[in-house]
Amino acid sequence: MLKCLLFIVVLVLFIGRALAQYPMINSNPAARALLTEGLDQVYDNHFTVAGAMFAQLEKVAPNHPAVDLLRGVSLYYQWFPARTDAKLKQQCVQQLELAARKADDWQKEKKKPNATANSATAQPEAIFLYFTAEAILAKISHLELEPFAVIRHAKNAYPYIQKGKTFQQQYPDFYLSTGLYNFYREVYPEIHPFYKTVAWVMTSGDKKLGMTQLQIATQKALFVRTEAILYLTHLLTDYDNKPADALPYLAHLIIRYPNNPYWRFLYGQSLLNAHQVDDIPHEISQLMAAPEEVYHQMGTLLKARYALEKGQPSIAQTLANELVQGSIRDESARAYAYLVLARIASLQGQQKQARQYYKQMLELAEYPVLRNEAPK
């Protein structure tokens, strides 16, 4: 049973009385516009503007769980990627839990014998809101190393992956969850054989179909279009080792959301993985100009990797050491810094030291693109 729960966690991570009267945002043009414009402001780090738009949305759809979810997403991106503000994280969790409770009550209301036709029509929206809130809560718990909370939220979210498949045409946002399921269901047990013993009890996936569904989500989803781009580029870069295929999607993000340095960091990482380094100095300068320390740390990683690419191991070593001795919480960034140190040690003939750095990298590295760098 524990193995099954752990596998469900993987799939989810990478993936009242008047409640039946909620208006359906998906079919309301004014509400849709406020939702998408507000999310665009979140993704461009304009959180105050986003909050004002969500307040307008609340007037159009009073007490709707989508408003609570949107506010939770905004708080999440104020907390992430630095992940240092405990109060902000607590506010985010509380907002997401409120959204999940409201959406769950909405679902229960629509199942009653006297449920209205409108309630039945709203089913996919209620399911999507509940699943998304629980999935983000699971992700936060995963980042904070809270395994029991991860399992609880993952158990809550998992059943709605299968339910969402029936609503894809009506509600294209479900292409994200079904696409991730199809990809991870096939790929993850191959990477981690431990899970093969439980994967057979779950519906088969299809890696190619999963990638296609994620591409559809990047084009048609209402709520999760940007998240679909993030997941698609993550799978292309970190699992399939096809960073060049991810670059057009990430380039779209830095053009659409120029005020968010995190997209530039992801773009710079993929450029380096693809050995396309001409634009790296510009991306570094943009990160170092940001006011938040976390982006200076990410810029330092790009500097270290760029120096190594340009044949400057001494500079790369100094920068990578600065990063691993610092406070950055992003495990992947720290793993890349250890990879830089391991490669330099190998170049210098210090094989014992290189093995130690590779070991430290593997303790942090979660994805094949990094794990495959370690000598077998």
3-state secondary structure 78-90: HHCCCCCCHHHHH
Check whether 230 has a pLDDT greater than 80: yes
- What's the pLDDT at 103? 94
- What's the pLDDT at 175? 95
The C-alpha atoms of residue 103 and residue 131 are separated, in whole angstroms, by 9
Q: Quick one: which of 158, 177, 272, 245 has its CA closest to 217?
A: 177
State mean pLDDT over 233-247: 98
Burial 358-374 (b: 16+ CB within 10 A, else e): bebbbebbebebbeebb
Single-letter code of the amino acid located at 228: A
Q: Where are the domains of the chain?
A: 2-227, 241-370
> How many angstroms separate the Cα of 317 from the Cα of each of 82, 307, 332?
23, 9, 18
Among 1-15, 119-133, 209-223, 249-263, the range scoring the smallest mean pLDDT is 1-15
The C-alpha atoms of residue 342 and residue 375 are separated, in whole angstroms, by 11
Single-letter code of the amino acid located at 232: L
- What's the pLDDT at 1? 46
- What's the pLDDT at 164? 87
Q: What is the pTM of this model?
A: 0.91
Q: Residue 256: which residues within 8 A CB-CB, separation 6 or more? A: 40, 43, 44
Q: Residue 132: which residues within 8 A CB-CB, separation 6 or more? A: 69, 223, 224
* pLDDT tens for each residue of 178-189: 999 999 889 988
Phi, psi (deg, nearest 5) at residue 115: -65, 145
- Top pLDDT among 196 and 343 is at 343
CATH superfamily, region 241-370: Tetratricopeptide repeat domain (1.25.40.10)
- What's the pLDDT at 15? 67
* pLDDT tens for each residue of 308-321: 999 999 999 999 99
Torsion, Cα 157 239 320 287, to 10 degrees, reads -70
- Top pLDDT among 332 and 9 is at 332
| DSSP symbol at 326 | S
State mean pLDDT over 290-303: 98
The C-alpha atoms of residue 200 and residue 287 are separated, in whole angstroms, by 45
In this prediction, residue 9 has a pLDDT band, given cuts at 50, 70 and 90, of low
Chain mean pLDDT for the chain: 90
Tokens read off for 275:
């050995």
In this prediction, residue 101 has a pLDDT band, given cuts at 50, 70 and 90, of very high
- What's the pLDDT at 19? 33
- What's the pLDDT at 17? 31
* pLDDT tens for each residue of 42-88: 999 999 999 999 999 999 999 999 999 999 999 999 999 999 999 99
- What's the pLDDT at 6? 57
Provide, rounded to the nearest whole percent, the portion of the chain with pLDDT above 90: 72
- What's the pLDDT at 202? 76
Provide, rounded to the nearest whole percent, the portion of the chain with pLDDT above 70: 89
Query: Residue 302, Cα to own-chain centre: how many angstroms?
Result: 21
